[in-house]
Amino acid sequence: MKTLITSIKIFIFFTILTGIIYPLLITLLGQLIFPFQANGSLIVINGKTIGSKLIAQNSDTSIYFSSRPSMISYNPMPSGASNYGLTNSRLKDTVNYRKKKFLLYNHLGSLTPVPAEMLFASASGIDPHISPEAAFLQVERIASARKFNVDQKNQLMKIIRDNTEKPQFGLLGESRVNALLLNLEIDKIK
């Protein structure tokens, strides 16, 4: 009986510690130290939530940058990939379709190399980043759709350069740009 009572006391102690005190402490610290990140890195403009800096959005209009393809239609709830193996014919067909679509959509020649992130969905299906190369390949389409002059087109290219994130700590990952942030910057071009 003494062992049972001791076990119950330990259970209650750790339930309170790990189920109440620890989550409250971490939530409090997150709100105090990193409120933007703790609340989902939401981008709010004029009181309206546009999206999260961490989640890609589908851009099906020619006036904005396209994000990476998503196997889950950019829905963060079932986050995931297709899990097709390299020998699966569906993967090959999907990649070929995406390549043709990207080249056609951006008015590029058939020999233009398409960056891998525009052909393959990310593992989560919601990665908001594309390479600067993928962004530069979309400049002509966006400039044409918005009827930009040469100066505005140069501003668009400068936006890509200014928003390029370097690899973390100079060595982790690759240079990248957030497509949602680029799209918000495009709207500022007069």
pLDDT in tens, 42-99: 999 999 998 889 888 888 889 999 999 888 877 778 777 778 888 889 989 999 999 9
* 3-state secondary structure labels for all residues of 109-169: CCCCCCCHHHCCCCCCCCCCEECHHHHHCCHHHHHHHCCCCHHHHHHHHHHHHHCCECCEC
Which pLDDT belongs to residue 11?
97
Q: How many CB atoms neighbour CB 166 within 10 A? A: 11
Which pLDDT belongs to residue 36?
93
CB 56 within 8 A of CB 179: yes
pTM: 0.81
Cα 150 from Cα 189, distance rounded (Å): 12
Helix (H) or strand (E) segment spanning residue 52: strand 48-52
Which contacts (CB < 8 Å, 24+ apart) does range 43-51 have?
43/180, 43/181, 43/184, 45/184, 50/180, 50/184, 51/180
pLDDT in tens, 4-40: 999 999 999 999 999 999 999 999 999 999 999 999 8
Residue 47 Ramachandran class (φ > 0 left, ψ -120 to 50 alpha, else beta)? left
> Average pLDDT for residues 119-141, to the nearest whole number?
90
> What does the block give as tokens for 160?
């890509």
Task: State yes or no: pLDDT of 110 exceeds 80.
Answer: yes
Across all residues in the chain, what is the average pLDDT? 91
The upper half-sphere exposure of residue 29, i.e. CA atoms within 13 Å in the direction of its Cβ, equals: 6
Q: How confident is the model at residue 173 (pLDDT cuts 50, 70, 90)?
A: confident
Cα 68 from Cα 32, distance rounded (Å): 33
Distances (CA, A) of 116 to 102, 137, 167, 175: 11, 13, 17, 14
Q: How many CB atoms neighbour CB 114 within 10 A? A: 19
> What does the block give as tokens for 119?
């052909």
Map out the domains of the chain as residue ranges. Answer: 1-39, 41-186
Q: How confident is the model at residue 190 (pLDDT cuts 50, 70, 90)?
A: confident
